[in-house]
Amino acid sequence: MPIASSPLAIDRAANLRALNSFGLPAVAHTLVHIRSDADVRRVLDHPELGRAPKLVLGGGSNLVLTRDPSEVVLRVEVMGKRLVAEREDAWIVEIGAGEAWHDAVAWTLDQGWPGLENLALIPGTVGAAPVQNIGAYGVELADRFESLDAVSLVTGRVVTLDARACAFGYRDSVFKQAAQPGNFGGLAGKSLITRVRLRLSRPWQPVRSYLDIERRMAETGNAAPDARTIFDWVCAIRRAKLPDPAEIGNAGSFFKNPVVSAEQCRDIIGRDPHIVHYPLPDGRFKLAAGWLIDACGWKGKRVGNAGVYERQALVLVNCGGATGAEVVTLARAIQESVYGRFGIRLEPEPVLM
Ligand code: EPU
């Protein structure tokens, strides 16, 4: 229930089941709705909440809740979409961190500003997109990123970070890295992203080199699809192989695609000639984790109420009533069997807590 006397919207004993895309049960003792930078400062100045540990929650699409959080949960609900600059070389759009990512993609296309079409239908919020540098069909957020605003959860100061400061990597950024001695950049748990600015380059440069897109081009005979067509194709491809979190709880790919040395890749190909692998510019190889899990026979298998999606082995799903512990037990069993057969340790993509 919101507390009327507080300028902050605070819920007590808030059920988080509908606020995480896996649909896992957990209760936040305190959940604060963050609608502006000022709300963050109000939290920091609050006699009870100011010094309490905090957990930032966006769309909850990259999180496996295994317990009731002991932290105060800050739910990011900063809204708004606007064009901030129309340059000769790009449109720069600014989007509130609380907006749904897919709606932002659709909005830019409706305005006639292409560039995000390959990233259609990714669940989660705009504020969560830089945290794990979302990517799909040959494009990563980092490729379209201009800058973001974040509020420090320690000082309440607003900072603007460019791509370098965000230290984007494969499903990684400074926001996922913990601060350690000698690593002052790690911002995990230390800041709350409020707005993200994206750069949509002009003229539009389509990215059509991903196998699934090339297949559609061949099937339709359309060798030069426009942005709207790529958007429609990506939506159709995703709907065909990925579960909709509104229907089946999930967090997208559960593991990152592992990177191995050329020697290790050759060794695995020697034993499993069909393994799906992609060369990287540095001479190493990225392996398809979905293929590895599939090869170990996990597709469609369950442990309790957690399961492996029958159309994409990289996606773990809530078969109905799963707990976070069941998801983690299933994930560990998959890691062990992939390690046993291929000698590769799969690393989870979502944050387990
Ligand atoms: N594969 C199998 N069996 C499976 C699943 C996949 O053999 O059960 C094979 C496929 O046949 C394909 C290869 O593995 O040859 C790769 O599969 P896919 O194209 O579906 O992509 P992915 O590597 O599994 C990655 C991203 C997705 C992103 C797609 C498309 C990661 C961890 N995942 O998946 O991102 O949508 O590429 O670009 O990098 C996410 O991060 O949550 C996510 C969904």
Q: Which domains does the chain have, with CATH numbers?
A: 9-76 (3.30.43.10), 81-201 (3.30.465.10), 249-352 (3.90.78.10)
Q: How many CB atoms lie within 10 A of CB 287?
A: 21
Of 64, 143, 75, nearest in space to 331 by CA: 64
4 C-alpha vs ligand 1 centroid, how far in Å?
47
Residue written as tokens 């600014």? Answer: 94
The helix-helix angle for 101-110 and 227-241 (nearest 10°) equals 160
Given this model, what pLDDT does residue 182 score?
Answer: 58
Whether the pLDDT of residue 222 is over 50: the answer is yes
Could you tell me what percent of the chain has a pLDDT over 90? 93
Residue with CA closest to ligand 1 atom 27: 136
The 10s digit of each residue's pLDDT in 283-318 is: 999 999 999 999 999 999 999 999 999 999 999 999
**What totals of helices (H) and strands (E) does the chain contain, helices first?**
9, 20
The verdict on the CB of residue 62 being under 6 Å from ligand 1 is no
Report the atom number in ligand 1 closest to the C-alpha of 288: 14
325 C-alpha vs ligand 1 centroid, how far in Å?
24
Residue with CA closest to ligand 1 atom 15: 276
Cα separation, 280 vs 263, in Å, equals 14
Mean pLDDT along residues 22-40: 97
Given this model, what pLDDT does residue 4 score?
Answer: 44
Average pLDDT, the chain: 95
Which of 314, 334, 342, 351, when mutated, tests ligand 1's pocket best, judged by the most ligand atoms within 8 Å of its CB? 314
Which of 168, 291, 309, 316, when mutated, tests ligand 1's pocket best, judged by the most ligand atoms within 8 Å of its CB? 291
The verdict on the CB of residue 301 being under 6 Å from ligand 1 is no
Q: What values do phi and psi take at 192, rounded to 5?
A: -125, 120
Report the atom number in ligand 1 closest to the C-alpha of 257: 32
Whether the pLDDT of residue 184 is over 60: the answer is no
290 C-alpha vs ligand 1 centroid, how far in Å?
6
Report the atom number in ligand 1 closest to the C-alpha of 134: 41
Whether the pLDDT of residue 151 is over 80: the answer is yes
158 C-alpha vs ligand 1 centroid, how far in Å?
36
Of 227, 130, 265, nearest in space to 187 by CA: 130
Of 293, 281, 241, 284, nearest in space to 265 by CA: 284
Residue with CA closest to ligand 1 atom 25: 136
The verdict on the CB of residue 61 being under 6 Å from ligand 1 is no
The verdict on the CB of residue 253 being under 6 Å from ligand 1 is yes
314 C-alpha vs ligand 1 centroid, how far in Å?
7
Residue type (1 letter), 83: L
Is the bond preceding residue 203 a cis peptide, omega within 30 degrees?
yes
pLDDT confidence of 185, banded at 50, 70, 90? Answer: confident
Cα separation, 174 vs 153, in Å, equals 15
Given this model, what pLDDT does residue 187 score?
Answer: 86
Given this model, what pLDDT does residue 181 score?
Answer: 65
Give the residue numbers marked as catalytic: 171, 253, 349
The verdict on the CB of residue 314 being under 6 Å from ligand 1 is yes
Given this model, what pLDDT does residue 90 score?
Answer: 98
The verdict on the CB of residue 139 being under 6 Å from ligand 1 is no
Q: Quick check: pTM over 0.85? A: yes
Given this model, what pLDDT does residue 188 score?
Answer: 84
The verdict on the CB of residue 257 being under 6 Å from ligand 1 is yes
Mean pLDDT along residues 80-107: 98
Residues 6+ apart with CB under 8 A from 288: 257, 275, 276, 277, 278, 314
The verdict on the CB of residue 291 being under 6 Å from ligand 1 is yes
Q: How many CB atoms lie within 10 A of CB 284?
A: 15
Across-strand partners of 162? 147
Report the atom number in ligand 1 closest to the C-alpha of 311: 8
The 10s digit of each residue's pLDDT in 233-261 is: 999 999 999 999 999 999 999 999 999 99
Whether the pLDDT of residue 183 is over 60: the answer is no
pLDDT confidence of 5, banded at 50, 70, 90? Answer: very low
